[in-house]
Structure 1
Amino acid sequence: MQINITSKLWWLISPTYKYAEYSKNKLINRGTTQYFLSKALKKYNKNYFTFSILICLASQFLHTMMLRFICDETFTQYQTTFYYAYIIVVIFTSWVFLLSRAVEILKAFLDDAIDKLNHKNSNSNLLFGERLKLSLTSYIELIINFGTFYFLIPVSFFKDNHQFTSIIEAIYFSAVTITTIGYGDISPVNWFVQLITIFEVLTGFTLIVVCFTIYSSLALSNKPSIPTKKPSKTRKSAKFRKT
């Protein structure tokens, strides 16, 4: 199995991607098999999806508490401090996970699809059906992560200072954006948020059009390979007895 190491600059662009790369290379250095590497990749995907839901729920709670805190006149002297602390938390969360995870999903699945077209051997033995499941889970995670990001940013970034009533409405806007439906009831006016919406559409297209199409076509045209089974304890013990 090959070890791939990208530039250290990716720690700034996407911390989650570099962490996943570090964890993957660590397993390879330990001499792991394709079976256990595939199992680890599926575990990472599941953990990230669960974490995105937790951040989504925590964002709803944090946003509600912030609005109540600002409207409470008894805490007037602390409102400015709390507001700037809230902004710092939003920026940090968006960089470390929400947007970072989106960049990771885009790069990871696009690189994997290109490798499949170039007939390069993969370090894992994930079947095409399993890859489709992972990409679908990541697609839903993208909707949640971008929705959480839209929910946390200032209302001045949207037309008519639109205030999302709940995290559900923000996820609705994210889903409408990534599917390119675009009803126009909610629209960003800030240049950075406009770029983020374009990036969301690009990431969604990459998963749906590129990855889904390539994985499906390759799965139909090629005979599916049987994943390597987990080595049994009986075989290990028999090997030791033989030696």
Structure 2
Amino acid sequence: MSGHFNKGNFKPGGEGLRTRVFQIIFESDTPSAKGFDIALIVMILASVLVVMLDSVAAYHARYADHFYWIEWGFTIVFTLELAVRLYCLERPLQYLRSFYGIVDLIAILPTWLTLLIPGAQSLVIVRILRVLRIFRILRLMEFVGEGQLLLGALRRSTHQVFLFLFTVFMLVTIFAAMIYLIEPAEAGFTSIPKAIYWAIVTLTTVGYGDIVPVTPIGQAISVMVMLTGYSIIAVPTGIFSAEVIRSIRADRYSDEACPGCGHDRHEQRAKYCLRCGTWLDEETPDPRAPAPEASSADDHSSDDPNNET
């Protein structure tokens, strides 16, 4: 498993104990850090399993008290873990504003908030808070090195995906308005929002069948919507895939050009140019370069018999 975070973003808050705790929690290149990672992963999965089982009526009726105390045990452990994380960091507020800091808060706040929401009238809110604990599963992204790569690709492709969704929304609205004007209300197209629902279901090729055009023109429009859906459904996948590939290349390859031939497609760990064999690290000397020869003037002066010492 790779390290949780980039050490350039998060730094220990001091020497001694705080540095040792930081290495255990935010790194994974030591046996103690790996053990911490594995234990935390097991606890996250177990806590999510408890939430799932507690949502089953039969299990809740029989083991509600057990689930209650187990959940409080997980909450206390995760609360202490978050406190230790903040203790060992130089800038704890920066962590709380990060993605995983927010997830950590979501993982523990619902259980603590149930203490502040008593009364039968609050059962619905309590249920929502209990379900929010399922978001602990997001913390598993913290232990996957590729998770950072995927999140970065999602952030960089946000504008393209938003433009795609906006285009799809315009198409859906146009098709919905057309089908609303053509189809009778008896077919289920009682309003434009209802027609938009039909257009989205048809465009995504889901086809529930609860609303179906009955006129020939409406059926022809349905064919156009379905074909349009097949033609554009792969667009967001392509956008995201391109960003992932770009992230992989950026992580693997260096942008620095070779000082000899100008080629800039070298792996990060490459020492010599794959085209001309030039030493790439300009800050350090080439260990294979021949030693500089002594100057000819020094040789002649040493051989001159008139040379006085």
Q: TM-score, normalised by structure 1?
A: 0.33
Structure with the larger helix share: 1
Structure of greater relative contact order (alpha carbons < 8 Å, 6+ residues apart): 1
Larger Rg: 2
Q: TM-score, normalised by structure 2?
A: 0.27
